[in-house]
Amino acid sequence: MNAKSYILFDLDGTLTDPMVGITKSVQYALKSYGIHEPDLKRLTPFIGPPLKDSFMKYYGFPEEQAKEAIGRYREYFAVTGIFENRVYEGIPELLKNLKAAGKHLLVATSKPELFAIQILEHFHLKEYFDFIGGASMDEVRVRKGDVITYVLDTVTLTDVSAAVMVGDREHDILGAGENRMDSIGVLFGYGSREELEKAGANEIAASVPELEKLLLV
C-alpha cells in the first residue's frame, strides 16, 4: 500500500470504545418492546453497523419497528450513553503525530454526525480533523459506503488513491471498496481478523502502534 495523505477514520471501535453507552442504549430500546437483555456483551454486535440493520438482524424487527427503535435508543444515548465511552490508549498521540506529518485527517462514521462531533469535542480530539462526517439524523445517509462518499465529496477529494479508510468492522472495509479506496482493519475494536480479511482489508493492524507504522509510511 502506497503512502496516503488523506486518512478516514471510523469512530466507534476505532478511535473510541463506546461499548457501555451503545449497549445500554440498545438495552433501553429493547425494554420498550418487552425484551429484557441483562448481558450487555450480547449487544456488542450493535457497535459499528447501522442501528436499523442490527435491530432487524438480531431481533427480527420489521423495518418500521426498527426505525422506531432508533428513536427509543436515542432517548438514552443523547443524554447519557453518548459519554459512556472512552478513547483507546495511544489514539491522541497517533492523531497528533499524523497531523504533524502533514496528513489530512477525516472521520467517516455511521453514527449521526451531530453525535460524532459532540463525542470528539468531549474528548478534545475534534481539533485534529479537517472534517467529521457521519450519518444524517433521518438515517437517509447511514451506510458506510455512502458516508465515505459524502466525506470525499465534502473535501473535494477525487484522487481516492491518496486516501485510506481505517476501521474495525467489515462495513468500513466494504465501504472503502465501494469507493475504490484502500483500507486498514484494526483488531483493537469489535471485528475479528477473519471478518476484516474476508471483507478485503489491504492491511491489518493489531494495535495502535502497528497502525501508526502503516500510516506514517
- Rounded CA gap, 75 and 180, in Å? 37
Cβ atoms 48, 110 nearer than 8 A:
yes
Phi, psi of 76 (to 5 degrees): -85, -45
Cβ atoms 170, 191 nearer than 8 A:
yes
Handedness of CA 147, 148, 152, 155 (dihedral sign): positive
Phi, psi of 203 (to 5 degrees): -140, 160
Q: Is 30 exposed, middle or buried (0-12, 13-18, 19+ CB in 10 A)?
A: buried
203 strand-pairing partners? 184
Cβ atoms 88, 211 nearer than 8 A:
no
Instruction: Output the DSSP codes for 128-147.
Output: G-SEEEEE-TTSSS-SHHHH
Active site residue 17: no
Catalytic pick among 10, 12, 146, 172: 10
Active site residues: 10
